[in-house]
Amino acid sequence: MEPLIHLRDKVAIVTGASRGIGESIARTFASHGAKVVLASRKIEGLEAVAASIRKDGGDAFAKACHTGSRDQVEALVEAAVARFGKVDVLVNNAATNPYFGPMMSIDEAAWDKTFEVNTKGYFFATRAVAQHLMARGAPGSIVNVASVAGLLAMPLQGVYAMTKAAVISMTKTLAMELGTAGIRVNAIAPGLVDTKFAGALTANPEILQFVMDRTALKKVAQPIDIAGMALLLASDAGAYTTGATMVVDGGWTL
């Protein structure tokens, strides 16, 4: 019997793939047989990851893309199809969090940037890939990297948390709307992960201790911990899972 957890013959786009969770997901997908398209705003970091994946025997292509721009997102999908002939999987992971502080003090520019990338970007990418899949008459899997911030009160990160709550809501509605086309849409809600993106939290002893005190496993996640769940949802092992938000937080939200 063939293993369920593989991505052979699949093409996957991973946004925010130059480092952290996105890089780990891209590497994991490639090691399980997928051709991967790596996207982020800056091409330099992407090229290094793509070259490393190819050196390890995988197949990777880097494409600069600002996911808050509909035109750039559509160009990303077109480039993926031109390079590999199709797209089967999308991982929406690119995100931003430019403001750390009380919600009442955020300025409009930081608000707009957070929503532009974290919600509009996810929607544009999902729509572009879903339209491609429906035109092919093919099933597919879309994985949205959300956050436990979208499930809890999150002082000092309130607007970021709002965008992640929106992603969870979007995941449910699109799962319902796209289900008849065979397109699954799921979300992952990581807890605290040891990445540069989360540096403002992991570098703050008081915040880190607060998280550790309420986390059952008493440790911070590594990017590979999130990549494993993304692989499950993207593969045939997740074939009957859609509209779900998979909490991967070491027991933080218990």
Average pLDDT over residues 143-162: 95
Classify residue 34 by its DSSP letter: -
Answer whether residue 212 shows pLDDT above 90: no
Q: All domains of the chain, ordered by start, with CATH?
A: 11-195+222-247 (3.40.50.720)
Average pLDDT over residues 83-88: 98
Confidence of residue 195 (pLDDT cuts 50, 70, 90): confident
CA distances, 152 to each of 15, 148, 191 (Å): 25, 6, 11
Give the pLDDT score at 202.
66
Residue 240, exposed/middle/buried by CB under 10 A (0-12, 13-18, 19+)?
exposed
- H/E element, 37: strand 35-40
Instruction: Provide the phi-psi class of 221: left if phi over 0, else alpha when psi is between -120 and 50, else beta.
Output: beta
Question: For residue 14, what are the β-bridge partners?
Answer: 38, 91
* Sheet of strand 59-64, all strands in order from the earlier edge strand to the far edge: 59-64, 35-40, 11-15, 89-92, 140-145, 183-190, 245-248
Q: Is the dihedral of CA 81, 47, 121, 28 positive or negative?
A: positive
Axis-axis angle for helices 108-115, 158-178 (nearest 10): 30
Average pLDDT over residues 4-25: 96
> Which region among 141-150, 156-165, 197-206, 237-246 has the lowest average model confidence (pLDDT)?
197-206
122 catalytic? Reply is no
Question: 19-30 burial, b if ≥16 CB within 10 A, otherwise e?
Answer: bbbbbbbbbbbb
Give the pLDDT score at 199.
63
Give the pLDDT score at 135.
98
Average pLDDT over residues 180-185: 98
Average pLDDT over residues 175-204: 87
Confidence of residue 200 (pLDDT cuts 50, 70, 90): low
Nearest to 94 by CA among 119, 74, 131, 61: 119
Catalytic pick among 99, 122, 160, 240: 160
In angstroms, how far is the first alpha carbon of the chain from the final one? 37
- What is the tens place of the pLDDT at every residue in 214-245? 899 998 889 999 999 999 999 999 999 999 99
Confidence of residue 56 (pLDDT cuts 50, 70, 90): very high
Answer whether residue 198 shows pLDDT above 70: no
CA distances, 3 to each of 6, 8, 28, 237 (Å): 7, 11, 16, 9
Average pLDDT over all residues of the chain: 94
Average pLDDT over residues 142-146: 98
Answer whether residue 157 shows pLDDT above 80: yes
